[in-house]
């Protein structure tokens, strides 16, 4: 089916606002093509521009707008003829980092308040979780997992899903045992318990994945950890990122304060360690 007969709304990554038309005319074009009467076009465009908070800029040309404003106009252009679904192609990738966070919040608010059906394509997992009610994770064109953001983040079904969302550390070892949803992996001569997510038989190679924020480095031992050497630590502002090594294994974690040089006990809570 030719693109013009699909009746969808599409917001382009580069916005694709027509440079030879004003904001008003950009937004009005879809209505004009649908044969809407001139005065109705006017009111509907005004309403759409009001919704995106740019009612006062209708007479401007795209190049006179900031990147964030252009993105809003592109959205208004896709909204104005009330398509059943709006497609957003990496809607925030052209904005600089600070603006992106604002636009993200604004976009989420607009989608929920107007009750829009929006399909948003992104490779930024934070953006996906912030914007979406449901996430479909694609890997090479195949659906890897779908569900709510919480499901994807807290219960990844595959190694790809686990690695894709959030920041993780990997523990490579061999599977020691699996039973009743629990598994044990042997890493650097130590057995670690975790949630069974894989299908390998004991003795086969396995990978443990744990979110950085789940690794505990406060010295308390829950009996499921490794003694590791502090390799380096980086100040990130609100916290420190610390890197430990033991043999071939490297583990990253967050700490609230800088740690002392030397060896530390690094704890992997069994319910947060997924073994694939």
Partner 1 sequence: MRFGWYRFLVIAVAAVAVLAPLVLVFYQSFLDAPFFQPVTHFSLEAYSFILSESDFWDAFVTTLLIGAGMTAIAVPLGAILAFLIVRTDLPGRSWLEPVILVPIFVSAIVLAFGYVVALGPVGIFSIMVKSWIGVVPWNIYSLASIAIVAGLMHVPHVYLYTAAALRGLGTDLEEAARVIGANPWRVAIHVSLPMVMPAILFAAVLVFFLGFELFGIPLVLGDPQGILVLSTYLYKLTNLLGVPSYQLMAVVVVAIVVVTLPLIYLQRRLLRQSQRYVSMRGKGQRAAPLRLGNWRWPAFAFIALWFFVTVVLPIAGITLRSFVVTWGEGVKLTEVLTLDHYRALLNFPNIERGILNTLAIGTIGGAFAVVGYTLVALAIHRWNSGWVRFVDYIVMLPRAMPGIVAGLALLWVFLFFKPISPLRATLVSLWLAYTIVWFAYGMRLISGTLLQVAPELEEAARTVGASEARVMRDVSVPLIRYGMIASWLLIFLIFVREYSTGIYLLGPGTEVIGSLLVSLWGTGDVDLVSALSVINVAMIGIGLAIAVRLGVRLHA
CB of 212 to partner 1, least distance (A): 35
- Max Cα distance, the chain (Å): 76
Using a 10 angstrom Cβ sphere, with 0-12 exposed, 13-18 middle and 19 or more buried, the burial of residue 77 is: buried
Q: How far is the CB of 215 from partner 1 (least distance, A)?
A: 40
Cα-Cα-Cα-Cα torsion 179, 180, 181, 183, nearest 10 degrees, comes to: -20
Query: Stretches 1-9, 124-132, 149-157, 203-211: which one binds partner 1 (CB under 8 A)?
Result: 1-9
Q: Is there binding between residue 19 and partner 1 (CB under 8 A)?
A: yes
* Cα–Cα distances in angstroms (integers) from residue 48 to residues 21, 80, 87, 235, in the given order: 17, 6, 17, 45
Here the tokens at position 274 are 């997924």
Query: Which of 52, 73, 78, 137 touches partner 1 by CB under 8 A?
Result: 78
Backbone φ, ψ for residue 22 (5° rounding):
-75, 170
Token duo for residue 172 = 């490579």
The region of 36-44, 75-83, 159-167, 181-189 touching partner 1 under the rule CB under 8 A is 75-83
* CB closer to partner 1, 87 vs 195: 87
Under the binding rule (CB under 8 A), the answer on residue 48 touching partner 1 is no
Contacts of 73 (CB under 8 A, 6+ apart): 15, 17, 23, 26, 27, 49, 52, 54, 62, 65
Q: How far is the CB of 89 from partner 1 (least distance, A)?
A: 9
- Cβ at position 228, least distance to partner 1 in Å: 42
Stretch that binds partner 1, among 25-33, 43-51, 156-164, 187-195 (CB under 8 A): 25-33
Q: Which of 1, 4, 56, 262 binds partner 1 (CB under 8 A)?
A: 4
148-152: long-range contacts, CB 8 A cutoff, minimum separation 24: none
Applying CB under 8 A, the site for partner 1 has a residue count of 24
| Residue 2 Cβ vs partner 1, minimum distance, rounded to whole Å | 7
Choices 6-14, 141-149, 175-183, 229-237; region in contact with partner 1 by CB under 8 A: 6-14
Q: Does 212 bind partner 1 (CB under 8 A)?
A: no
- Alpha-carbon distance 270 to 62, whole Å? 54
Residues that bind partner 1 (CB under 8 A): 2-10, 12-14, 16-20, 29-30, 33-34, 77-78, 81
């Amino acid at each position: 089916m030719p693109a013009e007969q699909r009746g969808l709304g599409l917001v382009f990554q580069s916005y694709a606002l027509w440079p030879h038309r004003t904001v008003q005319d950009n937004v009005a074009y879809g209505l004009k093509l649908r044969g809407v009467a001139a005065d109705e076009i006017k009111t509907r465009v005004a309403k759409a521009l009001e919704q995106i908070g740019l009612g006062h800029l209708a007479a401007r040309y795209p190049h006179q707008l900031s990147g964030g404003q252009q993105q809003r106009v592109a959205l208004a252009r896709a909204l104005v003829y009330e398509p059943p679904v709006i497609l957003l192609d990496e809607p925030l990738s052209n904005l600089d980092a600070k603006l992106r966070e604002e636009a993200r919040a604004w976009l989420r608010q607009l989608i929920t308040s107007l009750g829009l059906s929006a399909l948003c394509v992104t490779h930024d997992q934070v953006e996906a979780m912030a914007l979406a009610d449901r996430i479909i994770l694609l890997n090479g064109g195949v659906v890897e997992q779908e569900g709510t953001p919480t499901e994807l983040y807290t219960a990844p079904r595959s190694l790809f899903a686990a690695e894709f969302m959030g920041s993780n550390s990997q523990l490579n070892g061999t599977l020691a045992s699996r039973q009743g949803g629990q598994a044990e992996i042997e890493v650097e001569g130590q057995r670690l318990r975790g949630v069974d997510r894989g299908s390998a038989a004991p003795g086969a190679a396995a990978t443990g994945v744990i979110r950085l924020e789940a690794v505990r480095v406060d010295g308390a031992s829950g009996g499921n950890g490794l003694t590791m050497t502090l390799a380096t630590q980086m100040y990130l502002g609100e916290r420190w990122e610390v890197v430990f090594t033991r043999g071939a294994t490297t583990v990253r974690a967050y700490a609230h304060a800088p740690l002392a040089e030397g060896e530390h006990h690094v704890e992997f809570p069994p319910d947060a360690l997924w073994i694939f």
